[in-house]
Amino acid sequence: MEADPLSLDLPAATAHHHYRGGPGAQQLAPLQVTIVLPCYNEQDHVLDEVERITVAMDASGYTYELLAIDDASTDRTLAVLEEALPRYPRMHLMPFRRNGGSGTARRIGTAEARGAVVVWTDADMTYPNERIPEFVAMLDDPSYDQVVGARRSEEGTHKILRVPAKWIIRKIAEKLTNSEIPDLNSGLRAFRRDVSLPYLRLLPPGFSCVTTITLAFLSNQHDIRYVPIDYSKRAGTSKFHFVKDAYRYILQVLRMVMYFNPLKVLMPPALWLLVIGVAKAIYDIVAHPLRFSVNTVLIFITGLVIAALALLADLIVRSRTGE
């Protein structure tokens, strides 16, 4: 297929991917919608998901492609998809030689997409993919650049731990972005491809890519519409690792806000340290005339250093974005 201009910004190993498809695979004209479907060890139900998506999209009247990305599955997922290609002319198959993670699959799939609107979803039967045309139609409203399915319940593994952890991370993200975020890491979303292109290089390889695209849009004044959805119990085995992925979520929230608005992260603790330092200095003067304790000086200097770093980081961000 023709090289996408964005591929110049991607690593050489992932910049150009040729995918296999049915009778419609060689039609390179622009489309209205591209559905990016990462698949990793989903052999028992991936065709059920493909069928559900294609039935909904065929009935919608949208021109579309379904880009199924096999992320180096160790089961028969790739073989199942290859056998099904003749039955699904709008499905294209992109097999990876190495497992890159769902974030890598979504990033490359979005870069290769021919649709003006890109839809991300999962192949594990958890999301109501029959509603994809409804999400795409909502982007007819030019005031929104992304539509996200906000889950009404949590059905994943480690539910007792995931619910409070996700709530805390979501509240941190809301505070740092000054936005209400009903679901920070939903895997079902539709967005304008042209708006997403500058942010693709920021997407991490793992699950936190969905958090990243949310924060990137919100931090740059791209409005997001949240739509309540039902979330089903997943088919197959979950790839989510609670401790490792929860840590990555927190780190990615802080990283993204630092990338776009470092003052939000650094200036509040700097100001608090300066206020505490000044208050402690006043106490020292009253209690011990003409003498400051060592910890008073350290607190005040630490506040000054963090404030200086915040201003320097903000200057770098503004020079990078040309503001």
Q: How many CB atoms lie within 10 A of CB 92?
A: 24
* Number of structural domains found in the chain: 2
Same domain, 249 and 288: no
Domain co-membership, 63 together with 193: yes
Residues 163-207: tens digit of each pLDDT? 777 788 888 888 878 889 999 889 999 999 999 999 998 888 876
Torsional sign, CA 134, 136, 141, 143: positive
Q: What is the pLDDT of residues 7-19, one digit of tens each?
A: 323 333 333 455 5
- The per-residue pLDDT for range 193-251, each reduced to its tens digit, is 999 999 998 888 876 889 889 999 998 889 999 999 998 886 656 555 556 666 777 77
Contact 62, 33 (CB under 8 A): yes
Judge if 86 and 218 occupy the same domain. Answer: yes
Q: What 3-state class would DSSP assign to 20? A: strand
* pLDDT at residue 54 greater than cutoff 60: yes
Q: Determine the Cα–Cα distance for residues 17 and 28; give it in Å rounded to an integer.
A: 14
Return the ∠ at Cα 29 (arms to 24 and 31), rounded to 5°: 85
pLDDT at 123 over 80: yes
Of 217, 232, 260, the residue at which a domain comes to its end is: 260
What percent of the chain stands above pLDDT 70?
A: 82
Do residue 314 and residue 171 come from a single domain?
no
Please state, as a whole number, how many other Cβ atoms lie within 10 Å of the Cβ of residue 117: 24
Checking if the pLDDT of 57 tops 60, the result is yes
Residues 60 and 129 in one domain: yes
101 with 170, same domain? yes
Among 23-27, 159-163, 284-288, the range with the most confident prediction by mean pLDDT is: 284-288
Look-up: residue for tokens 């005040």?
300
Instruction: Quick: pLDDT tens for 178-190.
Output: 889 999 889 999 9
Report whether pLDDT(122) > 50: yes
Query: Is the Cβ–Cβ distance between 67 and 37 less than 8 Å?
Result: yes
- Give the mean model confidence (pLDDT) for residues 151-166: 68
Q: Please say if the pLDDT value at position 94 is more than 50.
A: yes
Which domain, by its residues, includes 291?
A: 262-321
Show which of 233, 260, 287 is a domain's final residue. 260
Q: Give backbone dihedrals phi and psi of 97, rounded to 5 degrees, phi first.
A: -80, -30
- What confidence score (pLDDT) does residue 206 get? 73
Give the CATH number, domain containing residue 91.
3.90.550.10
- Mean pLDDT, rounded, of the chain: 84
CA 65 remoteness from chain centre: 21
Q: Which of these three, 236, 260, 284, is where a domain ends?
A: 260
* Range with the poorest average pLDDT among 17-31, 110-124, 165-179: 17-31
Segment 254-282, tens digit of pLDDT: 777 788 888 888 999 999 999 999 999 99
Residues 22, 63, single domain; the answer is: yes
Asked if 164 and 216 sit in the same domain, the reply is: yes
150 and 277 share one domain: no
pLDDT digits (tens, 9 = 90+) for 291-310: 888 999 999 999 999 999 98
130 & 156 share domain: yes
Mark whether 281 and 256 lie in a shared domain.
Answer: no
Check pLDDT > 60 for residue 127.
Answer: yes
84 and 166, same domain (yes or no): yes
DSSP string, 58-106: HHHT--EEEEEEE---SSSHHHHHHHHGGG-TTEEEEE-SS---HHHHH
Q: What pLDDT, on the 0 to 100 scale, is given for residue 208?
A: 80
pTM > 0.75: yes or no: yes
